[in-house]
Amino acid sequence: MNDLYTHRDISWLDFNYRVLQEAKDKNVPLFERIKFLAIYSSNLDEYFRVRVANHRSLVRAGKSAQKELDYEASEILEAILHIVNEQQLEFSRIFEREIIPDLKRNNIFILRRDKLSKDQIHNIENYFKDFMLPYAQPVLLVGNKVKPFLNNNALYLALHLRDRENHQTHYAIVKVPSDHLPRFLELPNKSREKHELLILGDVVRHNISLIFPGYDILDSYSIKLTRDAELYIDDEFSGNLLDKIKKSLNQRNIGQASRLVYDRTMPKHMLDFLMSVFDLSSYDLLPEGRYHNNADFFKFPTYEMQHLKDPVLPPLPVPQLEEADNIFDVIAKKDYFIHVPYHRYEAVIKFFEDAAVDPNVTHIKVIQYRVAKVSRIMDALRKAVVNGKQVSTFIEVKARFDEETNLMWGEKLSLGGVNVYYSMPGYKVHSKMAIVRRIEKGTPKIYAYCSTGNFHENTAKLYSDVGLFTADVRITSEATRVFSFLETKKRPENEFEHLGVGLFNLKEKFVSLVRQEIQNARLGKKARMILKMNNLEQKDMIDLLYEANDAGVETNLIIRSVCSIVTGKKGLSENIHAISIVDRFLEHSRIFYFYNDGQEDIFISSADWMERNLHFRVETLIPIYDPKIKEIFKTILQIQLHDNVKSRSLDFEKINTYVTSNNDLAVRSQIETYYYVKRVTEQQDDPNATKPEKAAGKVITKKVKTKNSKS
């Protein structure tokens, strides 16, 4: 391990633990705590399918495959498994000792088989015969002769059986059909106020004797196999990349095993047998509790008990945009921002729907990285073609786990007359941007929407992202060049001056902004940066931040997930402090603030500071020029820095401790942001309104000293 950098995959586990902290926080409503158990598990499933699968492949390939690495793959893999094992023990403790008792206090009972009444037993036996039997798929394992294929992330019971006739013992597996049936089966009971549930695997356990007549069931334990999800494409630069991706998708769910999850109470003889049958090593094993596939907790029944959920925060309208006769006439006068999920997404949808029917619009162009399966935006693009517009979309079909949806939309849009451009070999296009060309008084004018989030109506309700509507020619002219490059693959003749664009000047732009702060600090001037992003891992940028620390630049980092820099360490990074906020919405926006000798430059971006974003993706960094919007984004950053409820320290030796302060006012940044956004939205077109920076109240200007306490 390196003292200057935390390995990204170890840091990611710290992030996922912050999710688990929400599940054990008694101040979080009960059903939301259950949801965080699901998020933690879903995150971990993907992590093993992608990141851990990669480390296992490196270990299998041997030393020669690791020559370019600055770490030992086996060392990282062992550290990952140790950390995850510890977290899984805590997960089980939270579920069994906290969640289940809290459910009981609210008259919701998760029963075991030995607690069922006669009526309930009769009910589950009928349910099994009527609905589950066709999906059970029992297989008797005979040494190495029978090696059944385990579906990715499917639930199975591993059984130890004794033949009643010859008294020989055998092993078997049977599928738990949670991919076809609800995971939580509600049982009949005599009380209307009481809810009793049985988890689907226990229904199978109870009825195993129907599947294996003539055998005594000695033991049963749940298992699940996770498979490598990487798309292995031999050469992206030759042949048809789209066809190669389609073929690779067909292989994803039959990939190499990357994890066997098993009940930690399973005896060694049974685990050894399963390892032999499925060709698994100790690196492939992950013990959990009695139940797996805990992402199914997303579907846990809530019985309309609203008091056990987060209070509703109704998404706020942006009436200046949503109620406009034509949205472009409004944007022509000044820039507008939105901040989802605090704002409704309706303004973005209207941007496309107005463009589709506006007789003055000639072109619509958009980048599609992730998009909803049912999408009004995509429907508007098809409608625009019918109305005679020239419409083009760049579709990134290498967006992991959204490849099939993107391919589906690519085919639909193409059939509808949209010009569809697909992935570039060797790179991903990750920018979140759309432009509309409109003829006004005989002259073409460009309108742009630039965002930190995808054009996805569903995630806009859950992810915290910011976006900018603008007709500022400094931005729109360069945005047009980005689309020209994506369509022609020809480098623009004019350099990018205002935008930072991946593969062109993005990293250089970030470097120059940081170096300006370093220079000002060395001249004795005030120098400060606030950098909010999802992930910080790129070593050149980390080294530059260490250099800024040495020069005396005050740096605040707000990092949701991977944070590979070591912060708050004397002699290395005492001027750099990092926090992470995990709350009811996923922090996804990337906002960058640079004091710049009082000029205060603010940017939004699609890019994190990761190797992939800065070197292998088309990303965009968008300057905020409107003074009022600059103040709004600056205030949003300040609100987050003052969070003393949901903020965790990422500083050296204080990782994941809750940040507290001597401020008597509890500041939960996402709730504060909602009401701040509400105020400034209402004031946007009021000439007598308070300036945006004052609307947030005293908490924003007050300097808060933080101290850390164990969670």
Which residues are designated catalytic? Answer: 430
Chain centre distance of CA 23:
17
DSSP secondary structure letter of residue 289: -
With CA atoms as reference, report the closest residue to 305 among 103, 518, 84, 536: 103
CB atoms within 10 A of CB 664: 5
Contact indicator for 149, 114 with CB cutoff of 8 Å: no
Exposure of 357 in the CB half-sphere (CA atoms within 13 A): 10
Q: Which two tokens stand for residue 138?
A: 């029992």
Q: How far apart are CA 232 and CA 4, in angstroms?
A: 32
Q: How far apart are CA 151 and CA 156, in angstroms?
A: 9
CB atoms within 10 A of CB 149: 9
Q: Which two tokens stand for residue 653?
A: 């030796």
696: Cβ–Cβ under 8 A, 6 or more apart, which residues?
A: 635, 638, 639, 672, 676
For 433-546, strand residue ranges (E) read 433-440, 443-451, 463-470, 500-501, 528-533
590: Cβ–Cβ under 8 A, 6 or more apart, which residues?
A: 452, 532, 533, 534, 604, 605, 606, 607, 608
Q: In what order do the strands lie in the sheet with 108-110?
A: 108-110, 195-199, 184-187
Q: How far apart are CA 405 and CA 362, in angstroms?
A: 28
For 628-669, strand residue ranges (E) read 647-649, 658-661
Q: Which two tokens stand for residue 348?
A: 């973005």
CB atoms within 10 A of CB 440: 12
Bridge partners of 391, per DSSP, are: 364
With CA atoms as reference, report the closest residue to 220 among 206, 231, 233, 234: 206
Contact indicator for 201, 176 with CB cutoff of 8 Å: yes
